[in-house]
């Protein structure tokens, strides 16, 4: 554990005692006190293929001094097939700094399609094990399905965004787990929102923001433009009263904000700024509080590109974005175009393109790492706490992969890495780093979200 | 008593035949026979288990929410909620799912 066990700053309504709970006292402490990541936990998938094996949690060796560097050193197989492991999270993060005895030790690993929720104990970092499984029927009892984003909340509990009701239709909501990983109930009053996807909270501003994908029955089978035209895909952000659990303000991002996916606040608990990537419109919005209200403005616009022989210009599809722990850089992926971008956000309202890497996708270099032919473009991102190593995987969602990059299922995903120079604002692809999910005994697997044992740039929240 | 029907499962690389009692879904019967077919939500919302009915008749025990009218007209069925009402021949496997929705930009 990397508990922040020293007295630090004090401010008006929140005193950092000699913190007993898990995590780091501040984002800056996370940068200063953390060691470089040695293992990565990565979602590995066989769902939706003819490979007769369950999805798994991969333990990837990312320690350059290790003999098994860039290898999958362990796989925790799920007990069932068909889960579509997607996003996952820790039972505790830096927001739980006052909860005595709590450890950042258990991963909460939901199945997006199955609605099954697995609890994985990572006490042995290189050899984690499943210790509890919440079956779909238990989840359906709360009229929820399709678990997505997992965040611990400051009192030791866990909240999971749920994209549909028990039938995979709207509305979605939030499920709350207790410290023993049993279901506590619904976190939200049902019906506050229709669509749901990702969320992030900022306790010092008493706010949570949630985004919108679509009903599970809509996005599960694949992406159909007919559904966009019918208004079945989301384009709104919801700003919640965090303590009371209701929506105070909804912002419709309009045509330029279609399918707002990942939402990230700046890490500083003082900050009332964040970003959301609108996948289909391929824009990034900056949201911020001013005059007691939340506002959202488009700050980055990715132009669609003509593809030779295709009928329509192709959007970039901004599928993931993250903010460096020092709140200085924004990174995002254009899955279809095949590039990763790095923006300087020192002035949050005016991001400045610092650098980009092309890899895979429809327009990127098809073979940037050795002779491994890529399938898919850069997708889920994760950054080292010190901001110097950016990693990504290439699978989005099994049925959407099949539609846009059919080779992803045949060749499997890769995990790649870029070296980042935060001082100069540059990135370079590490051509020595390749984790090949196509080369596994059962067959090629997809790879999705990435997490570090000591917290990361997409899961830690500060009080 | 519901009768059993013979269901032929066709894939690109092999053909298998199972008996499916009217009380059982095609997916459950296949699993019981040791034949692994793709599946996901098991409630008819996700279409991971989609097959294409080439002959015969099935009844969906819940609304097949993952399928649009055009899919139903084209003979797509969801094996997690489909029970045969006659001897059937069904195209199965992951590539059936891939055919449901096309790349809209291509």
pLDDT digits (tens, 9 = 90+) for A36-77: 999 999 999 999 999 999 999 999 999 999 999 999 999 999
Residues of B in contact with A224 (CB under 8 A): 68, 101, 104
Q: Residue A403 and residue B105: Cβ atoms within 8 Å?
A: no
> Does A50 contact B93 at a Cβ distance shorter than 8 Å?
yes
Distant-in-sequence, close-in-space partners of B28: CB < 8 Å, separation ≥ 6: none
- Please say if the pLDDT value at position A1 is more than 50: no
Distance CA A110, CA A18 (A): 34
Number of C-alpha atoms within 13 angstroms, CB side, residue A23? Answer: 30
Q: Answer whether B38 sits within 8 Å of A224, measured CB to CB.
A: no
**pLDDT-derived band at A254, boundaries 50, 70, 90:** very high
Q: Write the residue in B39, B65, B106 that is nearest to A310 by C-beta.
A: B106
SS3 of A294, please? strand
pLDDT (0 to 100) of residue A18? 54
> By the CB < 8 Å criterion, does B50 face chain A?
yes
Asked if residue A370 has pLDDT above 80, the reply is no
What SS3 class is residue A401?
helix
Q: Long-range contacts: A38-41, Cβ < 8 Å, 24+?
A: A38/A62, A38/A63, A38/A66, A38/A125, A39/A63, A39/A73, A39/A125, A39/A126, A39/A452, A39/A453, A40/A382, A40/A391, A40/A415, A40/A450, A40/A451, A40/A452, A41/A88, A41/A107, A41/A122, A41/A128, A41/A450, A41/A451, A41/A452, A41/A453
Which residue stretches of A210-311 are H helix?
A: 216-219, 225-229
Q: Whose structure tokens read 């499920």? A: A175
Any idea which residue has 């030779």 for tokens?
A: A308
pLDDT of residue A3: 32
Does B2 score more than 90 pLDDT? Answer: no
Q: Which of A135, A140, A165, A221 to mutate to test the interface with B (most CBs of B within 10 A)?
A: A221
The residue whose two tokens read 């499962």 is B9
Residue A374 has pLDDT above 50, yes or no: yes
Contact at CB, B45 and A167, closer than 8 angstroms: yes
Higher-scoring residue by pLDDT: B99, A20: B99
Average pLDDT, chain A: 94
User: What average pLDDT score do residues A18-46 get?
Assistant: 91
Closest chain A residue to the Cα of B63, Cα to Cα: A167
- Residues in chain A with CB shorter than 8 Å from the CB of B45 are 145, 164, 167-169, 216-217, 220
Count CB pairs under 8 A between chains A and B.
Answer: 112
Beta bridge partners, A446, equal A45
Decide if pLDDT at A137 tops 90: yes
Which member of A52, A113, A409 has the closest CB to residue B46? Answer: A113
Answer whether B27 touches A (CB < 8 Å).
no
Instruction: Say whether residue B97 is in contact with chain A using an 8 A CB cutoff.
Output: yes
For residues A334 and A378, what is the distance between their CA atoms, to the nearest angstrom? 7
Numbered residues of chain A with Cβ closer than 8 Å to any chain B Cβ: 47-50, 52, 81-82, 84, 113-115, 136, 145, 164, 166-169, 216-217, 220-226, 307, 310-314, 398-399, 402-404, 406, 409
**pLDDT of A4 higher than 70:** no
User: With 80 as the cut, is the pLDDT of residue A31 above it?
Assistant: yes
Q: Which of B40, B100, B103 sits opposite A113 (nearest CB)?
A: B40
User: What does the alpha-carbon distance between residue A219 and residue A85 come to, in Å, rounded to a whole number?
Assistant: 16
Distance CA A89, CA A119 (A): 10
Name the DSSP letter for residue A160.
E
Task: Supply the pLDDT for residue A460.
Answer: 94
Q: What is the pLDDT of residue A10?
A: 40
| Distance in Å, alpha carbon of A361 to nearest chain B alpha carbon | 14
A347 CB contacts (<8 Å, ≥6 apart)?
A: none
State mean pLDDT over A418-437.
96
ipTM of the predicted structure? 0.97
Q: What per-residue confidence (pLDDT) applies to A7?
A: 37
Instruction: Give contacts of B40 with chain A, Cβ < 8 Å.
Output: 47-48, 82, 84, 113-114, 220
Cβ pair A220:B93 closer than 8 A:
no
Residues 6+ apart with CB under 8 A from A452: A37, A39, A40, A41, A382, A384, A385
Residue A381 has, within 13 A of its CA and on its CB side, a CA count of 31
Tens digit of each residue's pLDDT (9 = 90 or more) over A159-196: 999 999 999 999 999 999 999 999 999 999 999 999 99
pLDDT of residue A366: 54
Residue A47 C-alpha, separation from nearest chain B C-alpha, in angstroms? 7
pLDDT value at A322 more than 80: yes
Tens digit of each residue's pLDDT (9 = 90 or more) over B32-72: 999 999 999 999 999 999 999 999 999 999 999 999 999 99
Q: Which two tokens stand for residue A56?
A: 């798994």
Q: Do B40 and A223 touch (CB under 8 A)?
A: no
Mean pLDDT, range A336-362, rounded to an integer: 96
Residue A6: which pLDDT band, with cuts at 50, 70 and 90? very low
List the single residue in A114, A166, A224 with the smallest CB-CB distance to B40. Answer: A114
Interface contact A223-B104, CB threshold 8 A: yes
Write out chain A residues lying below 8 Å of B97, CB-based: 48, 221-222, 399, 402
Sheet strand arrangement including A273-278 = A260-265, A273-278, A283-290, A293-301
Q: Which residue of A has its CA nearest to B99?
A: A403
- According to DSSP, the β-strands at B88-91 and B4-10 are parallel
Chain A: nearest CA to B3, how far in angstroms? 29
In whole angstroms, how far apart are CA A209 and each of A202, A296, A431, A450, B95? 9, 12, 37, 22, 38
Q: Locate A456 and state its tokens.
A: 């990361």
DSSP H or E segment with residue B29: helix B26-32
| Span of A18-27, A220-229, B73-82 with lowest mean pLDDT | A18-27
Q: What whole-number percentage of chain A has pLDDT above 90?
A: 89
Q: A209 by DSSP, 3-state: which?
A: strand
Closest-CA residue of chain A to B43:
A167
Tell me how far apart the alpha carbons of residues A195 and A172 are, in angstroms, rounded to a whole number: 6
**CB < 8 Å to A48, chain B:** 38, 40, 48, 94, 97
pLDDT of residue A450: 98
Whether pLDDT at A365 is above 70: no
Under the banding of pLDDT at 50, 70 and 90, the label for residue A101 is: confident
- Distance, in Å, from the CA atom of B105 to the CA atom of A111, rounded to the nearest integer, reads 29
Distance CA(B74)–CA(B96), nearest Å, equals 12
Chain A residue with Cα closest to B95: A49
């Amino acid at each position: 554990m990397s508990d922040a066990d020293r007295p630090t700053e004090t401010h008006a309504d929140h005193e950092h005692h000699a913190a007993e709970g898990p995590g780091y006292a501040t984002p800056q402490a996370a940068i200063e006190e953390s060691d470089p990541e040695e293992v990565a936990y990565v979602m590995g998938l066989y769902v939706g293929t003819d490979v007769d094996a369950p999805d798994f949690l991969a333990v990837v060796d990312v320690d350059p001094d290790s003999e098994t560097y860039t290898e999958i050193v362990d796989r925790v197989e799920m007990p069932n097939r068909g889960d579509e492991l997607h996003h996952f999270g820790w039972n505790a993060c830096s927001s739980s700094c006052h909860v005595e005895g709590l450890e950042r030790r258990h991963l909460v690993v939901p199945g997006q399609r199955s609605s099954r929720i697995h609890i994985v104990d990572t006490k042995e970092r290189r050899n984690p094990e499943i210790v509890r499984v919440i079956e779909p029927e238990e989840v359906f009892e709360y009229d929820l399905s399709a678990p997505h984003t997992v965040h611990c909340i400051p009192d030791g509990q866990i909240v999971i965004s749920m994209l549909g009701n028990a039938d995979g239709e709207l509305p979605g909501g939030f499920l709350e787990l207790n410290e023993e990983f049993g279901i506590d109930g619904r976190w939200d009053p049902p019906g506050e929102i229709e669509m749901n996807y990702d969320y992030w909270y900022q306790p010092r501003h008493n706010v949570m923001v949630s985004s919108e994908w679509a009903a599970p029955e809509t996005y599960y089978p694949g992406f159909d433009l007919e559904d966009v035209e019918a208004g079945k895909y989301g384009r709104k952000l919801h700003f919640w009263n965090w303590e009371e659990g209701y929506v105070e303000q909804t912002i419709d991002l309009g045509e330029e904000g279609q399918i707002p996916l990942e939402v990230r606040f700046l890490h500083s608990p003082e900050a009332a700024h964040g970003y959301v990537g609108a996948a289909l419109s391929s824009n990034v919005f900056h949201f911020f509080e001013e005059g007691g209200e939340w506002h959202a403005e488009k700050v980055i616009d990715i132009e669609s590109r003509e593809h030779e022989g295709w009928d329509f210009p192709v959007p970039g599809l901004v599928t993931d974005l993250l903010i460096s722990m020092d709140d200085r850089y924004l990174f995002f992926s254009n899955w279809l175009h095949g590039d990763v971008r790095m923006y300087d956000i020192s002035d949050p309202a005016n991001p400045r393109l610092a650098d980009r890497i092309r890899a895979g996708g429809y327009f990127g270099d098809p073979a940037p790492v050795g002779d491994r032919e890529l399938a898919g473009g850069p997708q889920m991102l994760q950054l080292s706490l010190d901001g110097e190593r950016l990693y990504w995987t290439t699978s989005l969602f099994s049925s959407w992969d099949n539609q846009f990059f059919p080779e992803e299922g045949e060749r499997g995903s890769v995990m790649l890495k870029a070296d980042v120079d935060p001082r100069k604002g540059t990135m370079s692809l590490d051509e020595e780093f390749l984790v090949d999910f196509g080369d596994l005994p059962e067959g090629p697997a997809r790879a999705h979200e990435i997490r570090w044992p000591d917290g990361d740039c997409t899961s830690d929240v500060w009080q | 008593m519901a009768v059993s029907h013979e269901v032929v499962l066709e894939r690109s690389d092999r053909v298998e035949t199972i008996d499916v009692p009217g009380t059982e879904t095609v997916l459950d019967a296949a699993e019981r026979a040791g034949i692994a077919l793709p599946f996901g939500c098991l409630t008819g919302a996700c279409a991971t288990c989609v097959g294409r009915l080439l002959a015969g008749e099935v009844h969906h025990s819940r609304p097949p929410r993952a399928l649009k009218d055009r899919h139903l007209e084209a003979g797509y069925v969801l094996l997690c909620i489909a029970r045969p009402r006659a001897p059937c021949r069904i195209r199965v496997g992951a590539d059936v799912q891939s055919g449901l929705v096309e790349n809209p930009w291509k």
